[in-house]
Structure 1
Amino acid sequence: MADGPILYTCAGSRGLRATWAAEEAGTDIELKLLPFPPRYQAPEYLELNPLGTVPMLVDGAVTMTESCAIAHYLAVKGSDPSLVVTPDEVDFGAYLDFTYHADATITFPQTVFMRFALFEKDKGWSEAGEAYARWFWKRLVKLERRLETREFLCADRFTVADICCGYALILAAKAGLDEGVPQSLKDYRDRLVAREGYRRAVDRESAGPSAI
């Protein structure tokens, strides 16, 4: 086993948050790319992660399966402390809030939409998919208002919170959910994907089959 962190993921999945954070932070990781969905396409993976979900990070005795937590962990382990907002900073609470908001509030309706409208669209659940699309768009209001007067979400700089929330906006474009995304958030997304760290992360994951 490698000495450093090992990240199991599928290209373009929520694991991109972790790959991106590692690239931005300069954290050396070993990337293990799996076919999507791994619980069906790589059943041996279930021996490592009984949930069958990605990403999963293994770092010695540490095992993690939540993408935003992994992104934070890898940023802390890296050489760029600016990616994390610390308890002594004014925006520490906002940093935690937006980092967790990314998956719990924004990405959740996206994944349900994708199930109904993309992965299982032959089952006739299009109306349910449309309902979750509208739910996702309504839940963007907090991001939209936060970014009315700032370039990034917290502490006047790019942080893991931007990686985590930014991924949801990147996924929206890939999943056909851009119709209800405000232009201001599309502009924010453009700023994020122009970063060298993001491009390196995408390049690293390009060797694996896409999750969408």
Structure 2
Amino acid sequence: MMTPVLYTCAGSRGLRATWAAEEAGTEIDLRILPFPPRYLAPEYLELNPLGTVPLLIDGDTQLTESCAIAHYLATRGGTTDLAIAPGERDYGEYLDYTYHADATITFPQTVYMRFAIFEKDKGWADAGHAYAKWFHKRLVKVEQRLDVREFLCADRFTVADICVGYALILAQSVGLDDGVPQRLKEYRARLTARPAYQRAVAREEAGRTALNREG
């Protein structure tokens, strides 16, 4: 079986994929790109015309959605406790929270980052801050779910936790943490204490350091 190749930028949504691979013990060929790759690594557009990260290439299979890649890497070798199978308790909830992570939670974060951080000099900062409020309001579903649970689904750590957890990690790193409820901060602390998460971060940082050295 070929080793999947994961293209990403350190700390980006691709961390979901790197983390899932570490949790599952799935071997990947991790290739760290400069950010943003569409400008700083234009040859990458030949692989992914979108210019976005992450990108997973596994033989003829190519995936560009971080949550899909995380699920794929967690189950590539067969059924694992990192995913919930059809017929198992919380199967529907597993799918829902895995998709909710990017479509509902990370989306307003990315708009906030673009308008309030990357392009704030263009006069769009107010729009970015409006999306920050949207992000905080959209945390209520996860907060209520974790009111009586340690993890989101089936009383165990799964890819759904990786996908939602990344959004909370991103919030801390881009200045959105003031509106994150304490319960979710405690949940994030449990997730980031996991050895596989720490290995994933260290691996991406090592790749970024090597890239900077080459540059």
Q: Shorter chain as normaliser: what TM range? A: over 0.9
Mapped to 2, the partners of 1:96 and 1:136 lie a distance apart of 20
Mapped to 2, the partners of 1:173 and 1:18 lie a distance apart of 19
Partner of 1:150: 149
Q: Residue 117 of structure 2 contacts residue 125 of structure 2 at CA under 8 Å; is this kept in 1?
A: no
1:80 Cα offset (Å): 7.3
Q: Does 1:187 align with 2:186?
A: yes
Mapped to 2, the partners of 1:88 and 1:59 lie a distance apart of 28
Partner of 2:65: 66
- Percent identity between matched residues is 73
What's the TM-score, normalizing by structure 2? 0.95
Helix, strand or coil: the match of 2:57? strand
Mapped to 1, the partners of 2:176 and 2:79 lie a distance apart of 33
1:79 Cα offset (Å): 7.1
Mapped to 2, the partners of 1:17 and 1:6 lie a distance apart of 15
Q: Does 1:129 align with 2:128?
A: yes
Equivalent residue runs for 1:1-212 within 5 Å = 3-78=2-77, 81-209=80-208
Mapped to 2, the partners of 1:62 and 1:125 lie a distance apart of 38
1:88 Cα offset (Å): 1.9
Q: Please, which runs of 5 or more residues in structure 1 have no aligned partner?
A: none
Partner of 2:213: none
**Counterpart code for 1:56:** L
Helix, strand or coil: the match of 1:184? helix
Q: Please, which runs of 5 or more residues in structure 2 have no aligned partner?
A: 210-215
Q: Residue 26 of structure 1 contacts residue 79 of structure 1 at CA under 8 Å; is this kept in 2?
A: no
1:207 Cα offset (Å): 2.4
**Counterpart code for 1:48:** L
Mapped to 2, the partners of 1:209 and 1:28 lie a distance apart of 19
1:106-154 Cα offsets, whole Å, 9 max, x none, are: 0000000000111111112221111000000000000000000000000
1:183-206 Cα offsets, whole Å, 9 max, x none, are: 000000000000000000001100
What's the TM-score, normalizing by structure 1? 0.96
**Counterpart code for 1:39:** R
Helix, strand or coil: the match of 2:156? coil
**Counterpart code for 1:26:** G
**How many residues get paired?**
209
1:159 Cα offset (Å): 0.1
Mapped to 1, the partners of 2:100 and 2:207 lie a distance apart of 28
Helix, strand or coil: the match of 2:81? helix
